[in-house]
Structure 1
């Protein structure tokens, strides 16, 4: 396996569009790193530059310590799994798995060993004589993974490999990829727009927006300490609640004064004195907005969504939409008034003029 290093890597197309603005980060040997962000954020372009399928406009890319900016894709010792399975329909599963190795002139015994090992690892032994049309979507995706696996590359690159699967298959195949990574200790770069995939698969996550890196950290660090409003809103389902207003102190304690006259009480919250009188965006996750008889935040229940192990309350507070995540017991009815409290230990403050996180 190998370390991957990007130093100020940029992609500028001929029309002047900058798809990636100066990406700098390292992917450790054996790490599973996820690139995540909305459509058009530059994540697939970044992956394709690592693969050699897109020319690097500026910066330096190293794989295993070797600069590969001008190295052809076949000579980078990488294997790529695409969103499309791209299997040869006239070939059996075994032939699909072996095809790339045959093109590279590997000995027959070596090819058979690698195909046999990959099939065993992915549970494909009973399907080796079948053709792609006889397989389910999940099985086809496993064959696509196996085709990369038999290459025994230094780096695996996966570009939204689960996008064509239904929800149940996505979950099971995602688990297979995680197990595969643990078993191989392989260096993997995984691209997705799905924040659940990113949070559950990645050892670290690179969050992108508009071609710029917003934050790089472990999944829970991103969730608990988002660097800016974009990361705070993108990661988490349901999304973080956001309220913009002015921080004010007084005899009643700290509060966030909203436009229109409503105030969000913040009992037990301490902020630097310099923040008083400042406009901020207050962020609170749905699980940290809970019913409390003296919470001081009275909202009206609009919609109740029980989803089994938990329930989401969609609320109206002074004309603003909020979501609370509760245990599915003794749920209020739509139209009911509810007193809530934002957990003072789990609040986030952001600068409304740029979105940067305030404080640690």
Structure 2
């Protein structure tokens, strides 16, 4: 295994489009790092530069102790797993697993040993004689993982490998990949647009938007302390509630919303420090809860109720401000009812209203 280091790595296409703006970070030896962001954010381009499939316009890329900017993909000691499996349809599972090793001239005994070990690791022993068309999507993705596994590479690169699977299979394959990582202690770089995959798989996550790194941290630190409004809105489902306005004090602390409404706020030292300033105030749906009979808070209109089993999402309106609350599945309100809600002051997020950065 090996570490991967990017120093101000850029990708600029011939038409002048900048796909990646100066990415700098290190993936530790044995770490599972996830690159996440919306379509077009540059995450797959970064992965392809690590693989050698995209030329680096500027900056330095190192795998282990070696700068690999000009190293051919086949000489980088990496293995890739793609979204579309890329299995040879006329070959059996065993032949698919062995194919890359045969191309590299490994001895027959070595190939048989590695294929057998990969099959045991991934639960494919009973399928070695099957063709890809005889297998489910999850089984085929396991074969694709196995084909990378037999290579015993320094770095595994996984490009949205679960996108073609249904929800149940995605969950089981996430578990499989996490188990495989723990077992191999392998260096893995995993690209996805799915925040659930990112949060559940990544030891650390690189959040990208428009080719720029927004934040790098552990999943829970990203959720609890997003560096800016983009990260706050991208990670978390439903997304964080954000209200824009000026913090003021009359009889109590409040946010004078941009539409002129008044949003009552809990008293916190952080809010006291920004009195008179226009901010973006964020709070997660689970931190907006019913205030109780006669409790402090504000009245909202219930516009929609979404029960999902162990929790309920309430789509609420406070004047022109749309809000979402995540509540327990107790006595559920109906659309059109009014509720009194309160914000948990211990879990507020304050951002600069113009730049979006965390205050």
What's the TM-score, normalizing by structure 1? 0.98
How many Å apart are 1:334 and its aligned residue?
1.2
Q: In the alignment, which residue of structure 2 is the partner of 1:126? A: 126
**In the aligned structure 2, how far is the partner of 1:272 from the partner of 1:84?**
49
**In the aligned structure 2, how far is the partner of 1:322 from the partner of 1:197?**
25
How many Å apart are 1:275 and its aligned residue?
1.4
Q: In the alignment, which residue of structure 2 is the partner of 1:44? A: 44
Q: Does 1:283 align with 2:286?
A: no
Q: In the alignment, which residue of structure 2 is the partner of 1:327? A: 328
How many Å apart are 1:332 and its aligned residue?
1.1
> Is the CA contact (8 Å cut-off) linking 2:223 and 2:236 kept in structure 1?
yes
How many Å apart are 1:271 and its aligned residue?
2.6
Q: Does 1:149 align with 2:149?
A: yes
**In the aligned structure 1, how far is the partner of 2:94 from the partner of 2:247?**
65
SS at match of 1:88: coil
How many Å apart are 1:300 and its aligned residue?
0.7
**In the aligned structure 1, how far is the partner of 2:17 from the partner of 2:261?**
43
How many Å apart are 1:34 and its aligned residue?
0.1
Q: In the alignment, which residue of structure 2 is the partner of 1:158? A: 158
How many Å apart are 1:18 and its aligned residue?
0.4
SS at match of 1:354: coil
> Is the CA contact (8 Å cut-off) linking 2:259 and 2:320 kept in structure 1?
no
Deviations along 1:294-323, one digit per CA (max 9) or x if unpaired, are 232210111111101111001111122111
Q: In the alignment, which residue of structure 1 is the partner of 2:302? A: 301
SS at match of 1:164: coil
**In the aligned structure 1, how far is the partner of 2:320 from the partner of 2:61?**
50
Q: In the alignment, which residue of structure 2 is the partner of 1:17? A: 17
SS at match of 1:287: helix
**In the aligned structure 2, how far is the partner of 1:70 from the partner of 1:261?**
58
**In the aligned structure 2, how far is the partner of 1:188 from the partner of 1:335?**
49
> Is the CA contact (8 Å cut-off) linking 1:295 and 1:342 kept in structure 2?
no
Residue 301 to residue 147, structure 1, CA distance change in 2 (3 Å): same
SS at match of 2:306: strand
**In the aligned structure 2, how far is the partner of 1:186 from the partner of 1:105?**
24
How many Å apart are 1:268 and its aligned residue?
3.0
Deviations along 1:146-182, one digit per CA (max 9) or x if unpaired, are 0000000000000000000011111111110000000
Deviations along 1:210-256, one digit per CA (max 9) or x if unpaired, are 0000000000000000000000000000000010010002332x211
Q: Residues 189-268 of structure 1 correspond to what in structure 2 (within 5 A)?
A: 189-252=189-252, 254-268=253-267
> Is the CA contact (8 Å cut-off) linking 1:29 and 1:186 kept in structure 2?
yes
Runs of 5+ consecutive residues of structure 2 not aligned to the other structure? none
Deviations along 1:22-77, one digit per CA (max 9) or x if unpaired, are 00000000000000000000000000000000000000011011100000001000
Q: In the alignment, which residue of structure 1 is the partner of 2:313? A: 312
Q: In the alignment, which residue of structure 1 is the partner of 2:3? A: 3
How many Å apart are 1:339 and its aligned residue?
0.8
**In the aligned structure 2, how far is the partner of 1:259 from the partner of 1:91?**
63
Runs of 5+ consecutive residues of structure 1 not aligned to the other structure? none
What's the TM-score, normalizing by structure 2? 0.98
**In the aligned structure 2, how far is the partner of 1:194 from the partner of 1:41?**
13
Question: What's the RMSD between the two structures over aligned residues?
Answer: 0.9
Q: In the alignment, which residue of structure 2 is the partner of 1:91? A: 91
**In the aligned structure 2, how far is the partner of 1:255 from the partner of 1:344?**
12
**In the aligned structure 2, how far is the partner of 1:268 from the partner of 1:134?**
62
> Is the CA contact (8 Å cut-off) linking 1:12 and 1:19 kept in structure 2?
yes
SS at match of 2:260: coil
**In the aligned structure 2, how far is the partner of 1:63 from the partner of 1:161?**
22
**In the aligned structure 1, how far is the partner of 2:347 from the partner of 2:217?**
19
